[in-house]
């Protein structure tokens, strides 16, 4: 819910279950999702009609005071107007009673949010990429989704069914005992339910307010630096000198043979053709379902592996330091794009962000331009260049020979102390960050040497960067990890 704040001691958490609807229930689910899409398209057309009318009047020389007024796009205004026209508009008059009111409210709420995002983006009040004006949703391409906020929304007592407004009781593909036990115990309250069709299967996601006590991490005083990569998914080095390697499972590469075979089978069948109106054959639908099943399994395996990795990290260490990777730019490398996408770098950072709040774990993001791989973890010397094919770091100053990823992880772990000491290499959440180019930016690393504080040893990771020379002072001011 937009603007909803949970009670003290509670958090908002989603419980997602796969559904096994029968033929009638699946038709009703598709009808509700189609109603949401139709309401969205109506709202877009109703609001933008005043825009085009004003543009035409301006071209005719109509004074500004006499122009047609702007139509509001707030959710209450859209609901009020839709309730007036739904009984008379030929697009809704014959079938709007077949679906729950929540289906139409879903489309209107999405349209209102889309117009808000467009207006804020145009006025410079919204971060991220520039957003265009809302457009109509295609019947063939739109994602089937519908949200319920009122009515009968519950998890049935048998643990294998859920009940939704107008849809009735639907069997779940998996047991719902985890959510059912919390609801019965009074530690969870269902706020809303969203049904969605993904990868050939229907899912229901319950947004709940859950009472969750903070579970302290196993090693609260330990700092860990995580260096992500393609050959090895993650190399973790903590402040005690322990280095742990997590292999890259490469689920997509392992399923590539099956995907190619299934894709050839789909291409040899008679598929749909929008130009001629040709409908797909039964064999094409069967082959396409098999291809979707393989993609679904790969996505589930990837999500499971990333959940296990991030959960283990946030339950073990008190402070986690990761890199601020420019994943969108990395995907432009056509030689590594497939493996980078399969690794899920962005998803790892997102999950570390919200899971850290459950355990009181602090997560820091190093500056994007911090040369973690080029800096020696022993003496602090920085190489000007370090090609990607060199997997072993050899320091020219002190002679340290160490794995490239392990060296980067040790440097990331050492950055955590600067968030407290304020030496300029790291900073707190409110530290001002310089504005950098969103695409194609490049910042070269100049050879320098970093002074170190006294510590127990070179490989232990406890020696922390303190102060750099004047020639790189302008660069180090931007190397403050951001607290999520």
pLDDT value, residue 448: 56
- Kindly compute the dihedral angle of the four CA atoms of residues 395, 401, 405, 409, in this order, to the nearest 10 degrees: -80
Decide: 224 and 416 in contact? Cβ < 8 Å: no
| DSSP β-bridge partners for residue 364 | 321, 483
For 264-299, the DSSP string reads HHHHTS---BTTTTBPPPHHHHHHHHHHHHHHHHHH
Establish whether 97 is a catalytic residue. no
pLDDT value, residue 466: 33
Of 93 and 428, which is predicted with more confidence?
93
- Joined tokens for residue 128: 């991220």
Let me know how long the chain is. 484
User: Taken in order 209, 211, 213, 215, is the CA torsion positive or negative?
Assistant: negative
Question: Of 153-162, 168-177, 236-245, 435-444, where does mean pLDDT reach its minimum?
Answer: 435-444
Of 445 and 317, which is predicted with more confidence?
317
Is residue 399 very low, low, confident or very high in pLDDT (cuts 50, 70, 90)? confident
Instruction: Give every CB contact of residue 43 below 8 A, 6+ residues apart in sequence.
Output: 73, 78, 82, 107, 108, 111, 112
Q: Which of 227, 238, 342, 367 is catalytic?
A: 227
Q: Which of 102, 209, 238, 405 is catalytic?
A: 405
Q: Which of 209, 323, 342, 367 is catalytic?
A: 323
- The predicted model gives 196-220 an average pLDDT of 90
pTM value? Answer: 0.76
Is residue 295 very low, low, confident or very high in pLDDT (cuts 50, 70, 90)? very high
Digit-coded pLDDT (tens) for 422-476: 433 443 333 334 333 444 445 666 555 544 443 333 333 333 333 333 333 343 3
Is the pLDDT confidence value at 421 over 50?
no
Establish whether 471 is a catalytic residue. no
Establish whether 81 is a catalytic residue. no
Percent of residues in the chain assigned helix, strand, coil, to nearest 5: 40, 20, 40
SS (H, E, C) 41-76: HHHHHHHHHHHHHHHHHHHCCCCHHHCCCCCCCCHH
- The predicted model gives 312-316 an average pLDDT of 93
- The predicted model gives 192-209 an average pLDDT of 93
């Amino acid at each position: 819910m937009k603007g909803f704040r949970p009670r003290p001691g509670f958090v908002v958490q989603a419980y997602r279950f796969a559904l096994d609807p029968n033929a009638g229930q699946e038709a009703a689910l598709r009808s509700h999702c189609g109603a949401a899409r139709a309401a969205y398209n109506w709202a877009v057309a109703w609001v933008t009609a005043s825009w085009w009318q004003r543009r035409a009047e301006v071209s005719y020389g109509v004074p500004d005071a006499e122009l047609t007024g702007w139509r509001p796009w707030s959710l209450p205004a859209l609901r009020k107007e839709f309730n007036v026209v739904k009984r008379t508009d030929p697009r809704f008059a014959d079938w709007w009673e077949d679906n729950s009111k929540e289906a139409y409210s879903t489309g209107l709420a999405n349209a209102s949010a889309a117009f808000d995002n467009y207006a804020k983006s145009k006025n410079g009040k919204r971060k991220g990429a520039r957003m265009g004006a809302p457009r109509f949703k295609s019947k063939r391409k739109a994602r089937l989704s519908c949200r319920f906020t009122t009515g009968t929304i519950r998890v049935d007592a048998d643990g294998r069914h859920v009940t939704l407004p107008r849809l009735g009781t639907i069997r779940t593909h998996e047991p719902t005992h985890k959510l059912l036990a919390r609801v019965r115990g009074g530690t969870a309250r269902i706020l809303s339910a969203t049904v969605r069709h993904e990868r050939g299967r229907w899912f229901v996601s319950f947004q709940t307010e859950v009472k969750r006590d903070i579970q302290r991490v196993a090693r609260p005083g330990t700092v860990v630096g995580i260096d992500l990569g393609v050959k090895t998914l993650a190399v973790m080095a903590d402040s005690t000198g322990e280095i742990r390697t997590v292999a890259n499972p490469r689920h997509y590469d392992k399923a590539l043979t099956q995907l190619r075979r299934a894709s050839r089978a789909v291409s040899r069948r008679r598929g749909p053709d929008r130009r001629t109106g040709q409908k797909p054959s039964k064999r094409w639908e069967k082959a396409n379902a098999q291809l979707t099943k393989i993609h679904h399994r790969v996505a589930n395996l990837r999500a499971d592996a990333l959940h296990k990795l991030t959960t283990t990290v946030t339950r073990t260490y008190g402070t986690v330091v990761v890199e601020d990777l420019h994943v969108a730019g990395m995907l432009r490398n056509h030689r590594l794009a497939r493996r980078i996408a399969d690794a899920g770098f962005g998803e790892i950072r997102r999950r570390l962000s919200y899971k850290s709040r459950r355990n009181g774990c602090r997560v820091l993001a190093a500056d994007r331009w911090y040369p973690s791989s080029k800096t020696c973890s022993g003496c602090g010397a920085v190489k000007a260049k370090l090609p990607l094919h060199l997997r072993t770091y050899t320091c020219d100053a002190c002679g340290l020979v160490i794995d490239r990823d392990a060296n980067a992880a040790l440097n990331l772990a050492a950055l955590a102390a600067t968030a407290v000491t304020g030496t300029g290499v790291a900073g707190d959440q409110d530290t001002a960050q310089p504005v950098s180019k969103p695409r194609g930016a490049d910042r070269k690393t100049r050879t320098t040497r970093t002074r170190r504080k006294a510590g127990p040893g070179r490989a232990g990771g406890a020696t922390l960067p303190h102060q750099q020379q004047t020639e790189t002072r302008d660069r180090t001011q931007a190397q403050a990890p951001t607290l999520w």
